[in-house]
Amino acid sequence: MKRFLFLLTGLIVAISMMTGSVVARTMKYPIGKDKRFHWEDLKAFQKLDLKGQTVSIIGPWLGPDRDLVESVLVYFEAATGAKVDYAGSDSFEQQIVIDVRAGSPPNIAIFPQPGLAADIASKGGLVPLGKETENWVKNNYAAGQSWVDLGTYKNNKGQKEFYGFFYKVDLKSLVWYIPDNFAEMDYIVPQSMEDLISLSNQIVKDGGTPWCIGLGSGDATGWPATDWVEDIMLRTQSPDVYDKWVANEIPFNDSRVVNAIKIFGSFAKNDKFVSGGASSVGSTDFRDSPRGLFTVPPKCYMHRQASFIPSFFPKGTELGVDADFFYFPAYTSKNLGKPVLGAGTLWAITKDSKATRHFMDFLKTRLANEIWMSQSGFLSALKSVNLDAYGNDTLRKQGEILLKATTFRFDGSDLMPGAIGAGSFWTGMVNYVSGSSEKKVADSIQASWDAIK
């Protein structure tokens, strides 16, 4: 181990001399110092000589997010001598299409949504990652087959190939609560959907209100309800039914989808279950909706929302102490495992090269995950990472939920055509909480889908 660290130290000195100490200035953690990280993962890469080669990357991250991704890239540069050029763009979706069409794409594109990657693959714009990487993901990621499925698309000949490697994941299947409020009432964190429903009824019986729900989001009003329905679909139907629903291979007004909407309604359209009553759900902004957790006495005890929602908690809230979360549980009676709904970024090769292939191998390492995990905004599905590398207990607990998942599915509305996923699905959910029936809403969404076929 000491010899390894000595070699790495010598490597850093040599590279610093070549680059004017750029690597030394931008390296977040000195190599070998932080014992949480698997520094030995650099061994294979320090044997490579990629000096003079450049890996160009384009993605959606700017500002602090750009700093975070570059904090990982620098270790590949240090080990190999290659240069990694990352360009962030707030119009990534448009830019990557332009670059591919012009025949001048970067080596790697970072897609926030699989749909665009699948479209570019169907036009011959992506390079397959190969069976070896496909099998690696299947064997090394929690719910590995799910990640393979999410990164597999048809090429320009209509044949399915594996293109998308997911690195950096977001989690949506969470319920937020105040531990002190639960403790005061002797409430126990539910382990199943049956328990969650029972707890909701108990809170009502005790004179409280179990839920805060808000769908307001300006022009995007309605999207929080789509997450509810997607999570419920994963807890009431098998993953293949979810996939067929998202692709409209089964209609939106199929009885299984209508049932999922109805279950959402059993929470959101129940005056006793929702702070402010059912009539407030559609008009309450999603950013304001968790505030009821923090009032005295509490206006609600639970709030289902993704991992980003603490950004809208009262200033000074200490996660894990003042507020915490638990996994939005599955039905014990359905025997569908522990499905997780989320999102993430997939990395795909748009222009192949030797250095690019080695860089994609670098993303597979525990170290490449742990460097970002230790900071913020990053969850990993890689089973072999050190969970202690997470920057705080909140991220670590979310990482544990991800690693325990038996199925992972991407946010369904993000995979649907824009006119549906960011259109009629949103508005349909608002109409639903405003009084329309689940069947009428499902019929209208399917009609809008039929209209664009």
Q: On the CB side of 96, how many CA atoms lie within 13 Å of its CA?
A: 32
Same domain flag for 42 and 30? yes
Cα(80)–Cα(42) distance, integer angstroms: 9
- Report how far residue 368's alpha carbon sits from residue 444's, in angstroms, rounded to the nearest whole number: 46
Please give the average pLDDT of every successive group of 10 residues along the chain, which has 453 residues.
Answer: 37 37 64 96 97 97 94 97 95 94 97 93 97 98 96 97 97 98 98 98 98 96 97 98 97 98 98 97 97 98 96 95 98 97 96 98 98 96 98 96 97 94 97 98 98 91
Tokens of 108: 């790697």
Q: State the SS3 of the chain.
A: CHHHHHHHHHHHHHHHHHHCCHHHHHCCCCCCCCCCCCHHHHHHHHCCCCCCCEEEEEECCCCHHHHHHHHHHHHHHHHHCCEEEEEECCCHHHHHHHHHHCCCCCCEEEECCHHHHHHHHHCCCCECCCHHHHHHHHHHECCHHHHHHHCEEECCCCCEEECCEEEEEEECCEEEECHHHHHHHCCCCCCCHHHHHHHHHHHHHCCCCCECCCCECHHHCCHHHHHHHHHHHHHHCCHHHHHHHHCCCCCCCCHHHHHHHHHHHHHHCCCCCECCCHHHCCCCECCCHHHHHHCCCCCCCEEECCCCHHHHCCCCCCECCCEEEEECCCCCCCCCCCEEEEEEEEEEECCCCHHHHHHHHHHCCHHHHHHHHCCCCCECCECCCCHHHCCCHHHHHHHHHHHHCCEEEECHHHHCCHHHHHHHHHHHHHHHHCCCCHHHHHHHHHHHHHHCC
CA gap 125, 128 in Å, rounded: 10
Say what the pLDDT of residue 396 is: 97
Instruction: Report which residue type is found at 180.
Output: D
| Contact between 95 and 335 (Cβ < 8 Å) | no
Whether residue 101 sits in one domain with residue 33? yes
pLDDT at 2: 34
Per the CB < 8 A criterion, the answer to whether 106 and 350 are in contact is yes
pLDDT tens by residue, 131-186: 999 999 999 999 999 999 999 999 999 999 999 999 999 999 999 999 999 999 99
Same-domain pairing of 406 and 422? no
- What pLDDT is attached to residue 298? 98
What pLDDT, on a 0 to 100 scale, did the predictor assign at position 113? 87
CB atoms within 10 A of CB 453: 6
What Å distances lie between residue 453 and 247, 420, 448, CA to CA?
12, 12, 9
Express each pLDDT in 317-352 by its tens digit: 999 999 999 999 999 999 999 999 999 999 999 999
Three state DSSP letters for 115-179: HHHHHHHHCCCCECCCHHHHHHHHHHECCHHHHHHHCEEECCCCCEEECCEEEEEEECCEEEECH
Residues 6 or more apart in contact with residue 194 via CB below 8 angstroms: 331, 332, 333
First to last CA, the chain: 61
- Gap between the Cα atoms of 84 and 290, Å rounded: 41
Same domain, 197 and 125: no
Range of the domain at 435: 174-340+411-451
Phi and psi, residue 41, nearest 5°? -65, -15
Look at residue 26 in the predicted model and tell me its pLDDT: 74
Closest CA to 175 of 248, 109, 231, 92: 231
pLDDT of the residue at 382: 98
Strands 165-171 and 339-349 come out as: antiparallel
- pLDDT value at residue 14: 37
pTM for this predicted structure: 0.90
On whether both 153 and 205 belong to a single domain, the answer is no
**329 and 357 housed in the same domain:** no
Beta-carbon contacts of 180 under 8 Å, excluding residues fewer than 6 positions away, are 322
Q: For residues 259 and 144, state if they share a domain.
A: no
Calculate the average pLDDT of the chain: 93
Q: Tell me if 449 sits within 8 A of 429, measured CB to CB.
A: no
The number of folded domains in the chain is 2
Same domain, residue pair 34 and 8 = yes
Same domain flag for 53 and 146: yes
CATH of the domain at 255: 3.40.190.10
Are 86 and 133 within one domain? Answer: yes
Calpha distance 231→338 (Å, rounded):
11
- 167 contacts: CB under 8 Å, gap ≥ 6: 344, 345, 346, 347, 363, 368, 369
pLDDT at 69: 96
The answer on 289 and 219 residing in a single domain is yes
Instruction: Clarify whether residues 333 and 215 are in a common domain.
Output: yes
